[in-house]
Amino acid sequence: MKRRVVSIALVLAGIVIGRWTTNAPALAQSGRDAGVAVTAVAAATATAAVPEGQPRYLAAMREELTAMGVSEASCEATDSQRAHCRLTQTGSSTNRDYEVHLSYSDVTDTIYAYVDRYLVVTSESAHADVVMRRLMELNWTMLMGKFEWDPTDGEVRLAMILNTDSNFDRRAFRSTVRALTSLADRHYGELNRLNESGR
């Protein structure tokens, strides 16, 4: 009788252990889902905490620029869904100051980052064809960023776009600002020389 009781107990223990090990992945997944839910709630709370009448991520942009050591950035809401930041970044190799603009929109869910008046190349410029050709060659090779040209006044911009449709990626924001300045500095010497002399 004792053997039968012990055998039944062992079988029941095996069933319990089997069910526990079988269900362990599901239990772990439910724990992860709970963590995701908590994160989602935290994100929603953070968004809800934005002052009324201001774009969602304007405060976060200010915080990140401060964390990057950009002390003189000017960031303002232009309306309830748009904001604009202006800052100056100095190139490490040229020591040139670049005026960087960050135009943020809740309508398009983007931050349009650009270096203002990087070059001026009008249609009548003596070396416009050479400069434009080189700009297009560079655009073809760059994974991040693009050169833009306004034919009405000859302004050349170096621009990048950061998407904010799902969230505000702080690391991507910092990388965008740094990469924009780095690219501007890397190509300025060559492009300015081509613009002035054609060679």
Chain segment 104-138, per-residue pLDDT in tens: 999 999 999 999 999 999 999 999 999 999 999 99
What are the backbone angles phi and psi of residue 3, rounded to the nearest 5°?
Answer: -60, -45
Tell me: the pLDDT tens digits for 14-55?
444 444 444 444 444 544 444 444 344 344 334 446 677 789
Contact 118, 187 (CB under 8 A): no
Tell me: the pLDDT tens digits for 69-116?
998 899 999 999 999 999 999 999 999 999 999 999 999 999 999 999
- Residue in 130, 135, 98, 128 with CA at minimum distance from that of residue 114: 98
pTM of the model: 0.73
Q: In what order do the strands lie in the sheet with 74-77?
A: 74-77, 82-90, 97-105, 110-120, 155-163, 146-149
pLDDT at 18: 47
